[in-house]
Amino acid sequence: MAEFTMELNDEQKEVRDWLHGFAADVIRPAAAEWDEREETPWPVIQEAAKVGIYSLDFYAQQFFDSTGLGIPMAMEELFWGDAGIALSIVGTGLAAVGVLANGTEEQIGTWIPQMYGDQSDVKVAAFCSSEPDAGSDVASMRTRAVYDEAKDEWVINGTKTWATNGGIANVHVVVAVVDPELGSKGHASFIVPPGTPGLTQGQKFKKHGIRASHTAEVVLDGVRVPGSCLLGGKEKLDERLARAREKAKAGGERVKNAAMATFEASRPAVGAMAVGTARAAYEVALEYATTREQFGRPIIDNQGVAFQLADMRTQIDAARLLVWRASWMAVNNRPFTAAEGSMSKLFASETAKKVTAQAIQILGGNGYTREYPVERMHRDSAIYTIFEGTSEIQRLVIARTLAGMPIR
């Protein structure tokens, strides 16, 4: 087990600097254009693939970093560049985590490479969990998967929403109900291979922020997938459902569902994204405050501005430490006895919203224009308190964990 540390090693620093350079030289110059276009920045993803950032090998190296800091460090640097473009680059990772968390070794080896494609033909993947009537309330999910034993196929029907890369993905990972009587415990995850009949893109959303990231509905109408596309396999599913039924009869213990397993694994990474956006806005505000003069002196000489910057930096550093702690705990299989993963996502996402708003205030009228990037950063920051569990849900998870109550 790696010791917890607040210092990156030399190799991690080298990777961090490499990512920072890509974010500064490739992502940032393209940020305003793709925000305005509200389209997937395929040329930037292609560049990321060429240098090895958008690849299975890169994310595997960071994911299996024994310190746990590889993924949060990478997320912070890329999202420091721009949240919308960075999400287009890393959005496939959520689907990959879904397969890693629930799939067999064969499924991992078969499907994750197809999520990324290669340098000459990049692909993306989508994780599809939320529904029009089932966002935070996963127990209300209606997308249904029914097993056709004669053909060893699963038939999936339903509509998913808020899916990053939904409809344009090469591979979709879909969470569906297999036993409605068990609520959220009766869910399972399925791979929908490329070109599968019955899967179509529904509405594409025009968003307040992260506009370079494609977000859409995914409609599944009689989608048939082979039995081998059930993540974890049917034997494992049957065993899990049997345990859930027994525990339901006994009135008791909670069973982790497939979607929750994915979100628990990814929440500290979302916190790191928020830290990157907050840090970017803070740096713009700091530079502006040291160069902008009013009444014959830099505005940072005014206590009101200086104290805001002090608070911004303190909150960013505190958020990073919570993210790093949760990431270290996760990679070392330390239980989140106080919902530390949710803590990190909650604090970091709230910090990003607050810091980006303060950055606009420090820049004044300039901050409210698109001539400066802080207004875009503020729009982008709003998503962190919403996706992969709202701030209210994070507080609920934390409170119920502290009270020893089941999380549904």
Angle at 81 between CA 114 and CA 303, to 5 degrees: 150
Structure tokens at 400: 């119920």
Cβ 86 vs Cβ 78: under 8 Å? yes
Please state, in angstroms and rounded to a whole number, the distance separating the CA atoms of residues 202 and 39.
16
The CB density around residue 273, as the number of other CB atoms within 10 Å, is 30
**For every one of its 408 residues, what pLDDT tens digit does the chain have, with 9 covering 90 and above?**
667 777 899 999 999 999 999 999 999 999 999 999 999 999 999 999 999 999 888 988 898 888 999 999 999 999 999 999 999 999 998 899 889 888 999 999 999 999 999 888 999 999 999 999 876 666 689 999 999 999 999 999 999 999 999 999 999 999 999 999 888 889 999 999 999 999 999 999 999 999 999 999 999 999 999 999 999 999 999 999 999 888 777 665 444 445 555 565 678 999 999 999 999 999 999 999 999 989 999 999 999 999 999 999 999 999 999 999 999 998 888 888 899 999 999 999 999 999 999 999 999 999 999 999 999 999 999 999 998 889 999 999 999 999 988 766
pLDDT value of residue 253? 46
Structure tokens at 159: 């509509």
CB proximity list for 297: less than 8 A, separation 6 or greater: none
Structure tokens at 118: 């290669």
Out of 76, 340, 350, 388, the active site residue is 388
Please state, in angstroms and rounded to a whole number, the distance separating the CA atoms of residues 130 and 36.
26
In the chain, the amino acid numbered 184 is S
Please state, in angstroms and rounded to a whole number, the distance separating the CA atoms of residues 11 and 92.
25
CB proximity list for 92: less than 8 A, separation 6 or greater: 54, 115, 116, 123, 124, 125, 165, 169
pLDDT value of residue 135? 65
Phi, psi of 143 (to 5 degrees): -60, 125
Whether 264 sits among the annotated catalytic residues: the reply is no
The pTM of the whole model exceeds 0.75? yes
Sign of the alpha-carbon torsion through 282, 24, 22, 42: positive
C-alpha dist (Å) from residue 116 to 232, 265, 352 = 21, 20, 29
Q: What helix, strand, coil percent values describe the chain, rounded to 5? A: 60, 15, 25
Q: Is 118 exposed, middle or buried (0-12, 13-18, 19+ CB in 10 A)?
A: exposed
Please report where in the chains the tokens 């033909």 appear, as a residue: 121
pLDDT value of residue 305? 97
List residues bridging with 230 in a β-sheet: 190
**Secondary structure (DSSP) of 178-209:** S-GGGGGGGEEEEEE-TT-TTEEEEEEPP-SS
pLDDT value of residue 1? 63
